[in-house]
Structure 1
Amino acid sequence: MIRSEEGESYERRVYKNLSDYQYMKVRLEFDETSVQLNAVQFKHLIVAALRDLHGEIGAALPVDVLTFEEEILSAILRVQNRGLVKLWSALTLLGCYQGQKCAFRVLQVSPFLLALSGDSRELLLTNVFDN
């Protein structure tokens, strides 16, 4: 309890994060553009990256691929809060897939899925008063 100058008491509560999950927008980049992956291969690559860095415990981390775009190898992933750092580190340290150099780019991270629907860096504002 904290007392104010007027003698009133109040309790301060701080919630760091109410969401149980974190959402990540990621893109997989290769040196060569000829590499094609489907959603199953993409998920397998993520699990392999977790296994390489964190062992079988890391591979058991529940990661969901919510959306996947084959053309640009981009996806939105869902992971529990406790697994965010493990997933992020595994993706960052992944260096090759089937002998070809690659890299995951983490584009956005948020506890809210809706926040990944737009990117303020790509936002184009127009003047509503222009005729």
Structure 2
Amino acid sequence: MENPVETEEAICKGRCGESLSSVEDAIYVIGGKWKLKIIIVLQELGSVRFNELQRTIGGISARVLSNELKDLELNGFVKRVVHSEQTPVVVEYISTDYSRTLKSVIMALSEWGRTHKNNIREDVF
């Protein structure tokens, strides 16, 4: 007969493993210094051209921004729209409906960051 404590521990380890794997996947896709910043700017401003995006974020090189946009496009967070009927050709980036599913996560992170900054200022720790 199985020990109920051992069974419960195995279930907890399984759930913990699933949670860790899910968080790892999420961080892989949206982690790093720039991806969430890009997503936030696109969600706030709507369609944005490359140079405007680079100026708004500040501190990001054109090469890094280009690579991050490609990654975000591959993962369905950003859509690249080319207006070839105009001269010169205009390229804009917009957030997708899928990227807007991160809105609650971004808001929670923002609130947590604000609280954490206040705790540090007040030397709560």
TM-score by length of 2: 0.30
Give the helix-richer structure, 1 or 2.
2
Give the strand-richer structure, 1 or 2.
1
TM-score by length of 1: 0.29
